[in-house]
Protein backbone atom coordinates (compact mmCIF):
# COMPACT_ATOMS: atom_id res chain seq x y z
CA UNK A 1 0.00 0.00 0.00
CA UNK A 2 2.79 2.45 0.80
CA UNK A 3 4.47 2.13 -2.60
CA UNK A 4 1.10 2.66 -4.26
CA UNK A 5 0.76 6.10 -2.70
CA UNK A 6 4.33 6.91 -3.69
CA UNK A 7 3.58 6.08 -7.31
CA UNK A 8 1.25 9.06 -7.55
CA UNK A 9 3.60 11.43 -5.73
CA UNK A 10 6.39 10.52 -8.14
CA UNK A 11 4.29 11.81 -11.02
CA UNK A 12 4.52 15.41 -9.87
CA UNK A 13 8.01 15.18 -8.42
CA UNK A 14 9.48 13.65 -11.57
CA UNK A 15 8.02 16.50 -13.58
CA UNK A 16 9.28 19.22 -11.24
CA UNK A 17 12.75 17.70 -11.13
CA UNK A 18 13.01 18.11 -14.90
CA UNK A 19 11.65 21.64 -15.31
CA UNK A 20 15.12 23.07 -15.66
CA UNK A 21 15.91 21.10 -18.80
CA UNK A 22 14.19 20.21 -22.04
CA UNK A 23 13.12 16.59 -22.19
CA UNK A 24 12.54 14.74 -25.50
CA UNK A 25 8.96 13.70 -26.15
CA UNK A 26 9.94 10.02 -26.31
CA UNK A 27 11.53 10.31 -22.88
CA UNK A 28 8.40 11.90 -21.44
CA UNK A 29 6.26 9.12 -22.88
CA UNK A 30 8.51 6.56 -21.24
CA UNK A 31 8.14 8.31 -17.90
CA UNK A 32 4.35 8.40 -18.26
CA UNK A 33 4.20 4.71 -19.12
CA UNK A 34 6.40 4.00 -16.11
CA UNK A 35 4.10 5.97 -13.82
CA UNK A 36 0.96 4.25 -15.10
CA UNK A 37 2.37 0.85 -14.15
CA UNK A 38 3.50 1.81 -10.63
CA UNK A 39 0.30 1.50 -8.54
CA UNK A 40 -0.07 -2.23 -9.29
CA UNK A 41 3.69 -2.71 -9.25
CA UNK A 42 4.06 -1.11 -5.83
CA UNK A 43 1.66 -3.46 -4.11
CA UNK A 44 3.26 -6.58 -5.55
CA UNK A 45 6.90 -5.57 -5.13
CA UNK A 46 6.32 -4.54 -1.53
CA UNK A 47 4.83 -7.94 -0.84
CA UNK A 48 8.08 -9.60 -1.90
CA UNK A 49 10.17 -7.86 0.76
CA UNK A 50 10.76 -9.26 4.22
CA UNK A 51 8.95 -7.04 6.69
CA UNK A 52 11.41 -4.86 8.64
CA UNK A 53 11.35 -4.17 12.40
CA UNK A 54 8.44 -2.05 13.64
CA UNK A 55 10.57 1.06 14.19
CA UNK A 56 11.92 0.91 10.64
CA UNK A 57 8.44 0.24 9.25
CA UNK A 58 7.26 3.44 10.93
CA UNK A 59 10.17 5.40 9.50
CA UNK A 60 9.52 4.10 6.00
CA UNK A 61 5.83 4.91 6.34
CA UNK A 62 6.84 8.49 7.19
CA UNK A 63 9.02 8.58 4.08
CA UNK A 64 6.11 7.34 2.02
CA UNK A 65 3.70 9.88 3.52
CA UNK A 66 6.13 12.71 2.76
CA UNK A 67 6.49 11.55 -0.83
CA UNK A 68 2.72 11.28 -1.20
CA UNK A 69 2.42 14.86 0.05
CA UNK A 70 5.01 16.08 -2.43
CA UNK A 71 7.48 16.86 0.35
CA UNK A 72 10.29 15.14 -1.47
CA UNK A 73 13.26 16.90 0.14
CA UNK A 74 11.86 16.08 3.57
CA UNK A 75 11.45 12.50 2.40
CA UNK A 76 15.13 12.39 1.48
CA UNK A 77 16.02 13.66 4.97
CA UNK A 78 13.79 11.08 6.65
CA UNK A 79 15.06 8.23 4.49
CA UNK A 80 18.65 9.32 5.09
CA UNK A 81 17.99 9.12 8.82
CA UNK A 82 16.42 5.68 8.41
CA UNK A 83 19.53 4.43 6.60
CA UNK A 84 21.81 5.95 9.24
CA UNK A 85 19.88 4.12 11.96
CA UNK A 86 19.54 0.90 9.94
CA UNK A 87 22.65 0.74 7.72
CA UNK A 88 22.28 -3.00 7.16
CA UNK A 89 18.68 -2.76 5.93
CA UNK A 90 18.45 -3.22 2.17
CA UNK A 91 14.87 -1.94 2.26
CA UNK A 92 15.94 1.32 3.92
CA UNK A 93 18.42 1.90 1.09
CA UNK A 94 15.71 1.17 -1.47
CA UNK A 95 13.46 3.80 0.14
CA UNK A 96 16.29 6.32 0.13
CA UNK A 97 16.83 5.54 -3.54
CA UNK A 98 13.14 6.15 -4.21
CA UNK A 99 13.31 9.47 -2.38
CA UNK A 100 16.34 10.53 -4.41
CA UNK A 101 14.49 9.50 -7.57
CA UNK A 102 11.57 11.70 -6.54
CA UNK A 103 13.82 14.80 -6.38
CA UNK A 104 15.52 13.95 -9.67
CA UNK A 105 18.81 12.78 -8.14
CA UNK A 106 19.12 9.81 -10.46
CA UNK A 107 22.78 9.03 -9.76
CA UNK A 108 22.19 9.01 -6.01
CA UNK A 109 19.09 6.87 -6.48
CA UNK A 110 21.08 4.33 -8.50
CA UNK A 111 23.78 4.28 -5.82
CA UNK A 112 21.25 3.50 -3.10
CA UNK A 113 19.65 0.72 -5.12
CA UNK A 114 23.12 -0.74 -5.60
CA UNK A 115 23.83 -0.34 -1.90
CA UNK A 116 20.71 -2.41 -1.25
CA UNK A 117 21.97 -5.06 -3.65
CA UNK A 118 25.34 -5.13 -1.91
CA UNK A 119 23.50 -6.01 1.28
CA UNK A 120 21.16 -8.45 -0.43
CA UNK A 121 22.11 -9.52 -3.94
CA UNK A 122 18.73 -11.21 -4.38
CA UNK A 123 16.68 -8.19 -3.33
CA UNK A 124 13.94 -8.15 -5.97
CA UNK A 125 12.74 -4.68 -4.97
CA UNK A 126 16.17 -3.10 -5.46
CA UNK A 127 16.55 -4.68 -8.90
CA UNK A 128 13.01 -3.72 -9.87
CA UNK A 129 13.44 -0.05 -8.91
CA UNK A 130 16.83 0.19 -10.60
CA UNK A 131 15.13 -1.23 -13.66
CA UNK A 132 12.47 1.47 -13.45
CA UNK A 133 15.19 4.12 -13.19
CA UNK A 134 16.95 2.75 -16.26
CA UNK A 135 13.62 2.70 -18.07
CA UNK A 136 13.11 6.39 -17.28
CA UNK A 137 16.62 7.06 -18.59
CA UNK A 138 15.79 5.06 -21.75
CA UNK A 139 18.66 2.67 -21.03
CA UNK A 140 16.54 -0.19 -22.23
CA UNK A 141 19.07 -3.07 -22.22
CA UNK A 142 20.06 -2.15 -18.66
CA UNK A 143 16.40 -1.92 -17.66
CA UNK A 144 15.70 -5.34 -19.13
CA UNK A 145 18.66 -6.84 -17.27
CA UNK A 146 17.46 -5.46 -13.93
CA UNK A 147 13.89 -6.65 -14.42
CA UNK A 148 15.19 -10.12 -15.27
CA UNK A 149 17.28 -10.12 -12.10
CA UNK A 150 14.16 -9.11 -10.16
CA UNK A 151 12.35 -12.12 -11.65
CA UNK A 152 15.25 -14.41 -10.76
CA UNK A 153 14.96 -13.24 -7.16
CA UNK A 154 11.14 -13.33 -7.12
CA UNK A 155 9.77 -15.58 -9.91
CA UNK A 156 6.17 -14.65 -9.08
CA UNK A 157 6.74 -10.90 -9.50
CA UNK A 158 4.06 -10.25 -12.13
CA UNK A 159 4.81 -6.55 -12.72
CA UNK A 160 8.36 -7.37 -13.82
CA UNK A 161 7.01 -9.67 -16.53
CA UNK A 162 4.53 -6.97 -17.53
CA UNK A 163 7.20 -4.30 -17.94
CA UNK A 164 9.53 -6.69 -19.77
CA UNK A 165 6.65 -7.58 -22.09
CA UNK A 166 6.04 -3.93 -22.85
CA UNK A 167 9.75 -3.38 -23.49
CA UNK A 168 9.84 -6.38 -25.83
CA UNK A 169 6.90 -4.91 -27.75
CA UNK A 170 8.71 -1.59 -28.01
CA UNK A 171 11.79 -3.37 -29.36
CA UNK A 172 9.75 -5.31 -31.92
CA UNK A 173 10.24 -8.68 -30.19
CA UNK A 174 6.68 -9.91 -30.61
CA UNK A 175 7.21 -13.58 -29.72
CA UNK A 176 9.07 -12.78 -26.50
CA UNK A 177 6.56 -10.05 -25.65
CA UNK A 178 3.73 -12.55 -25.97
CA UNK A 179 5.38 -15.05 -23.61
CA UNK A 180 6.13 -12.37 -21.03
CA UNK A 181 2.66 -10.86 -21.14
CA UNK A 182 1.03 -14.28 -20.90
CA UNK A 183 3.07 -14.90 -17.76
CA UNK A 184 2.14 -11.49 -16.36
CA UNK A 185 -1.56 -12.19 -16.87
CA UNK A 186 -1.20 -15.70 -15.43
CA UNK A 187 0.34 -14.26 -12.26
CA UNK A 188 -2.08 -11.34 -12.06
CA UNK A 189 -5.42 -11.89 -13.84
CA UNK A 190 -6.43 -8.34 -12.86
CA UNK A 191 -3.62 -6.80 -14.93
CA UNK A 192 -5.90 -5.38 -17.60
CA UNK A 193 -3.07 -3.40 -19.22
CA UNK A 194 -1.12 -6.57 -19.97
CA UNK A 195 -4.32 -8.24 -21.14
CA UNK A 196 -4.90 -5.37 -23.57
CA UNK A 197 -1.35 -5.54 -24.92
CA UNK A 198 -1.53 -9.31 -25.24
CA UNK A 199 -4.83 -9.05 -27.14
CA UNK A 200 -3.18 -6.60 -29.53
CA UNK A 201 -0.33 -9.01 -30.20
CA UNK A 202 -2.75 -11.87 -30.82
CA UNK A 203 -4.78 -9.72 -33.19
CA UNK A 204 -1.68 -8.77 -35.14
CA UNK A 205 -0.77 -12.44 -35.38
CA UNK A 206 -4.25 -13.23 -36.73
CA UNK A 207 -5.24 -15.33 -33.72
- What pLDDT does 54 receive? 86
Model pTM score: 0.72
Give tens-digit pLDDT for 160-179: 999 999 999 988 889 999 99
Residue 201 to residue 175: CA distance in whole angstroms: 9
Question: How confident is residue 15, by pLDDT bands cut at 50, 70 and 90?
Answer: very low
Residue 41 to residue 43: CA distance in whole angstroms: 6
Query: What integer is the mean pLDDT of 141-146?
Result: 94
Q: Is it the case that residue 156 has pLDDT exceeding 80?
A: yes
Question: Which residues contact residue 104 at a Cβ distance below 8 angstroms, ignoring those fewer than 6 apart?
Answer: 13, 14, 16, 17, 18
CA dihedral 73, 66, 9, 28 (to 10 degrees): 10
Q: Reduced to 3 states, what is the DSSP secondary structure of residue 37?
A: helix
Question: Which residues contact residue 159 at a Cβ distance below 8 angstroms, ignoring those fewer than 6 apart?
Answer: 37, 40, 41, 44, 45, 128, 184, 188
The mean-pLDDT minimum among 15-19, 83-87, 94-98, 115-119 falls in 15-19
- What pLDDT does 70 receive? 93
Give tens-digit pLDDT for 38-87: 434 444 554 445 567 888 989 999 998 998 999 999 999 999 999 999 99
Residue 160 to residue 26: CA distance in whole angstroms: 21
Q: Is it the case that residue 16 has pLDDT exceeding 50?
A: no
Q: Categorise residue 24: left if φ over 0, alpha if ψ from -120 to 50, beta otherwise.
A: beta
Amino acid sequence: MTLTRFAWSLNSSAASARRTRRVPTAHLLAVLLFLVTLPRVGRQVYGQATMPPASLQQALHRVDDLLAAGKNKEAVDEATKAVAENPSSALAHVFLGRAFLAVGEEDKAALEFRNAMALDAKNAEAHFWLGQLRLIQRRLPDAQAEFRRAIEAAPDLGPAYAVLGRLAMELGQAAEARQLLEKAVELDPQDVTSQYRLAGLLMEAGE
